[in-house]
Structure 1
Amino acid sequence: MTGEAGFGDYVALLKPRVMSLVVFTALVGLLVAPVSVHPMVALASILFIALGAGASGALNMWWDADIDQVMRRTRSRPIPAGKVEPGEALGLGIALSGISVIMLGLAANWFSAAFLAFTIFFYAVIYSMWLKRSTPQNIVIGGAAGAFPPMIGWAVATGGIGIESVLMFALIFMWTPPHFWALALFMNDDYSRARIPMLTVTHGRAATRRHVLAYTVLLAPVALGAGFTSIGGPVYLAAALVLNALFLRGAVAIWRRDETVAEADGYAVEKRFFRFSLLYLFLHFGALLAEAGLRAFGVFGYAGW
């Protein structure tokens, strides 16, 4: 150990940036559902979903401590930095997993709790322990873990699954590969050093650029399709049209990039695409939330479709 762990180090184990995305998409899933939820139940449910996300992060950091040590992007994390012992991260992850699942079941319903338990298992075991180090499809299949939260939020309200929650899942699921492959294009040396079989490592950057474009093209109809369901409407559809046009333009720019030029300018286009991808997802779910708010409060007589 290089120093005493502080409160911030244990918070960092929970991957707060990832947790914030989980919380937001789960909250949207809950609020756009056709069944109203008591505010206290909703607040408690989101808190326990957040704890579940934090548990996944802690378990992931425990398992990935060896590769985090050799990657520039992750070597300052609490375990490789020597601030937190691996056993502490494992214990925290297991404890938060149990607490979050049990408390969500008591606060909301056991279907949503089981869904949360499966999501934690999928991220910690299926993705982190198996897929991440074994296949270039790691982020494609493993992306399901990050796509489940809006379905959990929907399940908190309805106790089940609907076509709308499946489309919210599909939106994140299809968004994940181009988002992470853009990151891999300018962080490829890290993945290569850690021997993680990202697509850039196994198939090269040129193939990855083609995959970014292909998945972005497949993503657009999924994103637009949600606009024609009960949770969509003109506001969401207008936002989705603009966002997907911009995202597709960025993917085409990445596809056309010559590797020599990209390296010379520090992968500026790829970095912009990666940053915009975060805004892309946030604004899609923000538009769904706006649709729900406009309908609920009848602003200017708005009723959606």
Structure 2
Amino acid sequence: MNIRIALPSKGRISGPAVELLEKAGIGLTDNSNRKLFSNTFDPEISVMFTRAADIPEYVADGAADMGITGYDLVLEKDVDVEILEDLNFGTTRLVIAAPEDSPIKTKEDLKEIKTIATEFPTITRKYLKDNDIDAKILSLSGATEVAPLIGVADVISDLTSTGTTLKMNHLREIDTIISSSVRLIANKDSMKEKYEKIEEIETGIIGVLHADGKKLIMANVNKNDLEDVKDAMPGMSGPTVSEVYGNPNVVAVHSVISEKEVFKTINKLRKVGARDLLVIPIERILEDIQ
């Protein structure tokens, strides 16, 4: 049962997508996205590198069983695929923006526009229809932000992460059409025919996502101090306590916590008598995966 996963060949989500698979245990035998295909250490899984914008169609058509690409691209291609997981990176928004000196300042003002330029005509068309805005769509393949400046459009719809590029081009956000991030998607027929293997891959990826930003803290404590240690040690479901062989007065405790809490937690534990403290990185957490 072979599974082909489509990954972006370049761009800001390509590297993180490859890294995510590798952390999930699906390492590439040839870690180069210059080749169209790459095998993995699992003989049943291969990777296909292609344009992120083409991945939704390849997955929908069955050329790939699974794919990693932006939610905005899935909506723009308007294809019927199974969205398995939000991978929580590559966050962006598709917004409508107008020149800073334009009379278009609010969503209501958009009813006065004549033309909107965009690389996302499908999503933009739906937005215009849903908001009863009668405007012509000018489809562009890049540099959308210059369209109002050269007089070919009143406003644009374009992706932004921080808003910096819009501000650099003297554009002001009017409204957000969609919020997007990178998603794990699958072909619907493959979900029926290859469900077990696809679930294994999804589970591995979810385990990596759950482990992101988490650390395992371990410590030895006197039994008399155990209640104080429990209060000082946050965790996913409270600390785990186990006996220390050969020392009936000492127990070992460990708990998974956010790495943001590590500094504070260690100092709390030391103050209530914990010793032999260890902080260990976590590769995957499989708890609570459905």
- Short-chain TM bin: under 0.3
Q: TM-score, normalised by structure 1?
A: 0.26
More strand by share: 2
More helix by share: 1
Q: TM-score, normalised by structure 2?
A: 0.27
